[in-house]
Amino acid sequence: MTNSTPTTPTNIPAVVVSPFIDECGNPMDQDVSSLKAHFSSISAKCSYFSANYAKVLGDPKSGENDDDKWQKLWVEACVGAVQERAQMETTSPHGQQRGISGERSLEMMRIQQDIDRKRIEISKMTAYAEKITSMASIMTVDPETLSGPRKYFFETMQKRIAAEMMDEEMKQKEQEKQKQTEEDEREEEEEEKQHQ
């Protein structure tokens, strides 16, 4: 953008500000309410983050490290952002409800479902990690060094864990065998179709 005003040391601010005002509007003309609305939006986000941060730190789980806490906080923040965006999409600046297109509504639902799926995956992985950690700690104990009820407890738990591991291995082998059978049947059907 060229400006016809000659540049001198006294009019440099005017030369710089003038194209900005032409392009974006004069910031001095903005209403105070827009600044208050922007500040309240930032304040609400900070409050939401602080509440989630306190909730995550206030509810420590056994074996949970800082990375787990931050991941949990991130998921909560994503859920909050999606909910806030949905609220902004459905409410006009004057607080009146407005309709969302069906496509936009479906998109918001899909995003929420993705976040819910991720939250469930993280919960399952966390529970599985806790289970494996507790199983490993039980299996490392030598019951012969113990006596009385503690010896009985660890012997019983080690037997249960071993039986559970064997069951899981058998199920996995059965699933692999079933997959192989299904693949063989599919191949036979394809061969029969090709011969016909």
Q: Does pTM surpass 0.75? A: no
Domain regions of the chain by residue span: 64-91+100-140, 141-182
3-state secondary structure of 97: strand
Q: What whole-number distance in Å separates Cα of residue 177 and Cα of residue 73?
A: 41
Q: Give the pair of three-digit tokens for residue 175.
A: 């699933």
Q: Which residues, 6 or more positions from 1, have their beta carbon under 8 angstroms from its beta carbon? A: 19, 22
pLDDT tens string, the chain, 196 residues long: the values are: 445 555 555 665 666 667 666 666 666 666 677 677 777 778 877 777 777 777 767 766 777 777 777 777 766 666 666 666 666 655 555 544 444 556 666 777 778 788 888 888 888 888 888 888 888 888 888 988 988 888 898 899 999 988 988 998 999 999 999 999 999 998 888 888 888 7
Per-residue confidence (pLDDT) for residue 6, from 0 to 100: 58
Q: What are phi and psi of 98, to 5 degrees?
A: -135, 155
